């Protein structure tokens, strides 16, 4: 036994102490503290447009998207009536996009939920109100869907208010012609609202198909006004029919597809005073009435019943029957500006006329002009017409009434116009 070293019992005792110390060190409490409340969602939600932004245009793209998770199928946008707005959830469930325009000045509410990759659900909520226009401007198109019109027909859009930003409005217009036909928009003078016409450079080819689209809903017309709705028009150009009306010949020649359809004796305006002059230039058939009442106080007649009246200008010029001038039809011009035919001849021509047919009057001392009404399109040279577009220049600021004072109106009213 080694008297200088520790005994075996002492060594073992020391080792035991070391083990106890190690055991004590391993029992130290390092457990994480328990959360004080429910876990917070980590999925992030983004609204477009932002809910705190200015009132959005109802045609903007409205959506809600998430990062760090996915949207649940219950996400939706609810209108003021409590109905869901149609929308599409993306395949990856990251974005829900509204698929239809909203309304003006209305409150919409987001609803639904999203779940994060941590499996914690977050509620989708929030609301916004779309912009409220100072005024909504509507428009009327002169040609109906499916209508067949003549080869000189202009396409007319009449607004029920003044359009200040004419360039923006014109850029929202599209005209597609098949076959392609050169044409241009032109802004004409105000007539209780703005008006814009699309005219082909030359007469249409028969059979041409025309599609017009106006994307006006949500469009800023300027001055706090916005478009009321989108509009379209789809129509077709019919056969070619041109009335050759030479005042010195005392007749009209109706030419159908290049061949003479009928030659009818008539009487033109007497021409003694300006109001009795049938205007020279390309007129356009705009409407027709089997029965029409006309008045002209300056000429001394009121509410005279006329038959088979085809309007060719808004200044009061018609091609119509007048039994009182039959004796001079074909030999003398005695009317107050209209083109008079016999009853049978007027009825025969009436049956062939459609909106947009050109009536080419020649041989008188006053030309058709903007003073003669709303459809004087063909009295304007092509370069001038194009210059009235707001896109390549400034639209005309002049104010010319579309219906001159004294022009006749439909039956059962109290018209006043040259006869």
Domain positions in the chain are: 44-129, 135-237, 241-378
CATH for the 241-378 domain, from 3.40.1160.10, 2.40.440.10, 2.40.128.20, 3.40.50.1100: 2.40.440.10
Rounded average pLDDT over 24-37:
52
pLDDT score of 414: 32
Catalytic residue of the set 197, 283, 289, 320 = 320
Is the predicted pLDDT of residue 411 greater than 50, yes or no? no
Is the predicted pLDDT of residue 338 greater than 50, yes or no? yes
pLDDT-derived band at 5, boundaries 50, 70, 90: very low
Is the predicted pLDDT of residue 320 greater than 90, yes or no? yes
Catalytic residue of the set 197, 266, 289, 338 = 338
With left for phi above 0 and alpha for psi between -120 and 50, is residue 98 left, alpha or beta? beta
pLDDT score of 295: 82
Q: Considering Cα of 245, then 246, then 247, then 250, what sign does the dihedral take? A: negative
What are 42-56's pLDDT values in tens digits?
Answer: 999 999 999 999 999
Lowest model confidence (mean pLDDT) among 261-275, 365-379, 398-412? 398-412
What are 221-259's pLDDT values in tens digits?
Answer: 999 999 999 999 999 999 999 999 999 999 999 999 999
320 is catalytic: yes
> Of 357 and 34, which is predicted with more confidence?
357
pLDDT score of 394: 64
Rounded average pLDDT over 279-285:
98
- 226 touches 105 (CB < 8 A): no
Do the first three CATH levels of 44-129 and 241-378 match, i.e. the same topology?
no
| Domain at 135-237: CATH architecture | Sandwich (2.60)
Instruction: Calculate what percentage of the chain has a pLDDT beyond 70.
Output: 85
> Of 58 and 6, which is predicted with more confidence?
58
Rounded average pLDDT over 343-364:
98
250 is catalytic: no
What are 86-96's pLDDT values in tens digits?
Answer: 999 999 999 99
| CA dist., res. 366 & res. 368, Å (int) | 7
Please give the CATH topology (third level) of the domain spanning 44-129.
Immunoglobulin-like (2.60.40)
Q: List CB contacts of 107: < 8 A, sequence separation 6 or more.
A: 80, 127, 128, 129
Q: Provide the mean pLDDT of the chain.
A: 89
pLDDT score of 33: 56
> Of 393 and 128, which is predicted with more confidence?
128
**Residue 46 Cα to chain centre, angstroms:** 33
Listing DSSP states for 207-236 in one string gives: T-EEEEEE--BT-EEETTEEE---EEEEEE
- 235 touches 148 (CB < 8 A): yes
What are 132-142's pLDDT values in tens digits?
Answer: 999 999 999 99
């Amino acid at each position: 036994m080694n008297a200088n070293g520790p005994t075996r019992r002492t060594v073992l005792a020391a080792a035991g102490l070391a083990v106890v110390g190690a055991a004590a060190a391993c029992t130290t409490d390092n457990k994480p503290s328990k959360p004080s409340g429910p876990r917070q969602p980590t999925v992030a939600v983004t609204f477009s447009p932002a809910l705190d932004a200015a009132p959005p245009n109802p045609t903007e793209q409205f959506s809600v998207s998430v990062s760090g998770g996915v949207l649940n199928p219950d996400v939706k946008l609810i209108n003021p009536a409590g109905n869901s707005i149609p929308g599409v959830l993306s395949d990856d469930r990251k974005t829900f996009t509204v698929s239809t325009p909203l309304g003006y000045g209305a409150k919409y509410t987001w609803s639904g939920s999203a779940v994060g990759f941590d499996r914690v659900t977050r509620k989708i909520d929030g609301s916004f109100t779309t912009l409220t226009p100072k005024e909504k401007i509507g428009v009327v198109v002169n040609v109906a869907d499916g209508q067949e019109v003549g080869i000189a027909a202009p396409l007319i859009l009449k607004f029920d208010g003044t359009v200040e930003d004419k360039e923006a409005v014109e850029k929202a217009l599209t005209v597609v012609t098949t076959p392609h036909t050169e044409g241009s928009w032109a802004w004409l003078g105000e007539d209780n609202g703005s008006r814009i016409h699309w005219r082909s450079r030359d007469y249409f080819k028969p059979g041409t198909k025309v599609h017009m689209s106006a994307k006006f809903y949500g469009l800023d017309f300027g001055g706090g006004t916005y478009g009321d709705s989108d509009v379209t028009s789809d129509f077709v150009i019919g056969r070619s029919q041109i009335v050759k009306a030479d005042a010195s010949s005392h007749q009209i020649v109706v030419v159908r597809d290049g061949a003479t359809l009928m030659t009818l004796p008539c009487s033109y305006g007497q021409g003694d005073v300006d109001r009795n002059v049938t205007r020279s230039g390309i007129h356009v058939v705009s409407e027709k009435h089997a029965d029409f009442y006309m008045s002209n106080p300056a000429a001394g007649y009121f509410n005279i019943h006329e038959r088979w009246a085809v309007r060719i200008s808004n200044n009061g010029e018609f091609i119509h029957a007048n039994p009182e001038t039959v004796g001079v039809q074909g030999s003398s011009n005695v009317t107050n500006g209209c083109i008079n035919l016999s009853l049978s001849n007027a009825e025969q021509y009436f049956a062939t006329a459609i909106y947009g047919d050109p009536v080419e009057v020649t041989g008188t001392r006053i030309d058709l002009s903007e003073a003669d009404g709303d459809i004087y399109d063909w009295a304007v040279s092509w370069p001038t017409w194009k210059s009235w577009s707001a896109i390549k220049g400034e639209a005309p600021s002049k104010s010319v009434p579309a219906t001159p004072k004294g022009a006749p109106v439909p039956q059962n009213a109290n018209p006043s116009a040259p006869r």
